[in-house]
Chain A
Amino acid sequence: MTTPAPSPAAAAGAPGQGPALAPVLAVDDLHVRFRTDDGHVHAVNGVTFEVRPGESLALVGESGCGKSVTSMTILRLLPSPPTEVPKGTIRYRGDDLLRLSNRQMRRVRGGKVAMIFQDPMTSLNPFLRVGRQLTEAIELHLGLRGAAARARAVEALREVGIPGPETRVDAYPHELSGGMRQRVMIAMALVTGPDLLIADEPTTALDVTIQAQILDLMRRLQRERGMSMILITHDLAVVAGMCTRVVVMYAGRIVEEAPVDDLFDDPRHPYTLALLESVPRLDAALGRRLRPIEGLPPKLTEPPVGCSFAPRCRFVLDRCRTETPWLEPDADGRLRACFVPLRRGRPLAPAGGPAGAGPAAEGAGGST
């Protein structure tokens, strides 16, 4: 039985990151469950990761893997019954957000850590003018009032590339197009100058051409401000374009964590591998079939025993069903939660070279 290890990336000084700066956000062994009439739903089961200053981290996984729950829990946006956080800490610049009072938390929300959501039409209040929705954040977090606040709002709109912001600021959301609304959302989130932006599927509801524009905007703004970003998505293409590091989640757990190029080049977890194989690629051979992942993700009404992916994994071993793999570096230092060492999509033979996979093969790395 392996024990959960503290964030190995920080300890190991993961390659390509430069000197280890203090992380903006450190999530440690987070567990989140929901109490329902039929028992508990264990949505997040021991998630640990960090976000460093200036980096954009992708949180990837299929629907129901716990990525949204995790991000909503960071800002404590989930209603408190039925949500329960039995274990774990979320440290923002050293303070555990889970232990802050409501008043302190409100200062963090929107001010230090901002969040934007998927559907900009429903995420903006249709009854209020766009300008008002901006100035209320400005008044609350920046302390500006009246004309000064309004000027700041106009500026914010200009920064996100909305033409004619002096008039647009008095528009209602339904008077703007989808892309413009998302820009407004971004403006609303960034006007207060947060350190960390959590973007939950920011482009999923937009059509492709607009998507590209929004992503460009976000990238530019992030760079200009040196802001950290958590980008939650199930769209791997977006990840490739935007992020430096990727965290892959499955069934409430992190299964792999890697720099983006490494991940795409050589996925080290059976799930990541399967995921990439199921996505069309420009460099794939013509006529090659997409390969869906058989089976369904587990119902999370029980705390998972063993590896959650075991039922669908093509490399599954007996011990996978009984023992829980935790995120650990393999021989190359790649972080993965799996008992089967993989290289280039193939399991390694017990002795270390690529060979036929077999249920009896044991991992060389990640020992107790």
Chain B
Amino acid sequence: MGRYLLRRVIQVPIVLWILVTATFFLMRYTPGGPFDMDKQVDPAVKAQMEAKYNLDKPMPVQYGLFLWDLVRLDLGPSFKNKTMTVNEIIAAKAPASAVLGLYAVVIALVLGLGAGVVAGVRQNSVFDYGSMTVAMVGLAVPTFVVGPLLALVFGIYLGWLPVAGYEGMDGLRYLVLPAFTLALPFAARIARLARAGMLEVIHQDYIRTAWAKGLSEQVVVLRHALRGAMLPVVSFLGPAVAQILTGSLVVEQIFGIPGIGREFVQGATNRDYTLVMGTVILFGVLLVGFNLLVDILYGFLDPRIRYA
């Protein structure tokens, strides 16, 4: 296990370097630059702006400068946001996405596992069909429909929750609707995976042994079946959590959450090279990190893998 982990850990910087390099060149060679505006800028002025951000230097030099800054963890200034550096933007916005994301992950796990496990144990029951149908709907209906709908019902009609805004940790009620909206498609996937996993496990011989020992349904499901059923869910969680934590542009826009999801998209639209790079690196690190975590978790869950 140790050597396997070591190999995986070493891969991380290599993967990230490839990611960063590909993004760097893709961005630079995409048509349109950060200083293209609808009100044309005088070429002389444009040249000044590009000089300020080193965009007038030859590409290999720019790449070199960029890598040098990166190694010192300096992601550079944002081309669009003149007051904050990319480091500051990420530091300011990532926490909101992270809090929202964490909230959403918890909801997705609770709902998804709950529904999936029960549906699997009670196969073909009303609950099974019902919950899997809801899951299907949850996957099919896009966030930009679900979000405003929830805001309309719970915010405007019932008046129970705020429709938009963010107050940090003091205002967790602002996060309820966006967290739910964000969580729903993931909960649906988790439910289906948990159900499939549970169905596979529940017919195993060792479950029959557990019944034969006189254990109650609760113990059989929770102590014996759950661990095996969780394996497909855990695999899914790696990339899923990375995705949720880096925010969803749509949810953040609908509910006015000052998160990092927006920066992903706006950065690309604005050709804000440094900001795009920053967000891509953030996502890359999270993705690689969570995949690694998942692998470790897998080892904990399945003792047979530990010695592979």
Contact = CB atoms under 8 A, between A and B. Distances in A.
Interface of A: 75, 77, 105-111, 114-115, 117, 119, 122-128, 136-137, 140-141, 172, 174, 185, 188
B224 A109 contact: no
B213 A188 contact: yes
Interface of B: 204-206, 208-216, 219, 223-224, 227-228, 301-304
Given A128-B224, A174-B303, A140 B214 contact: yes
Contact of A77 (B212, B223, B228, B304): B212
24 contacts: A75-B212, A105-B214, A106-B216, A107-B214, A109-B213, A110-B213, A111-B214, A114-B213, A115-B212, A117-B205, A117-B212, A124-B209, A125-B224, A127-B302, A128-B223, A136-B213, A136-B219, A140-B214, A140-B215, A141-B214, A172-B304, A185-B209, A188-B209, A188-B213
Q: Which 8 A-B pairs have the closest CB atoms?
A: A109-B214, A110-B214, A110-B213, A122-B205, A125-B206, A127-B227, A106-B214, A115-B212
A107 B216 CA distance: 10
Contacts of A137: 213-214
B211 A109 contact: yes
Nearest to B212: A115
Contacts of A188: 209, 213
The SS class assigned to the B binding surface is helix
A90 B211 CA distance: 19
Contacts, number: 70
A110 to B, nearest CB: 4
B303 A127 contact: yes
Given A109-B211, A126-B228, A127-B303, 19 more contacts: A77-B211, A105-B214, A109-B213, A109-B214, A110-B214, A110-B215, A114-B213, A117-B209, A119-B205, A122-B206, A123-B205, A123-B208, A125-B210, A125-B224, A127-B228, A127-B301, A127-B302, A172-B304, A188-B213
A126 B301 CA distance: 10
Nearest to A111: B214
A123 B210 CA distance: 9
A74 to B, nearest CB: 11
Contacts of A115: 212
A140 B213 contact: yes
B205 A114 contact: no
A141 B213 CA distance: 9
A195 to B, nearest CB: 14
B215 A136 contact: yes
B202 to A, nearest CB: 10
A231 to B, nearest CB: 16
A106 B215 CA distance: 7
Nearest to A122: B205
Nearest to B209: A123
Contacts of A126: 206, 228, 302-304
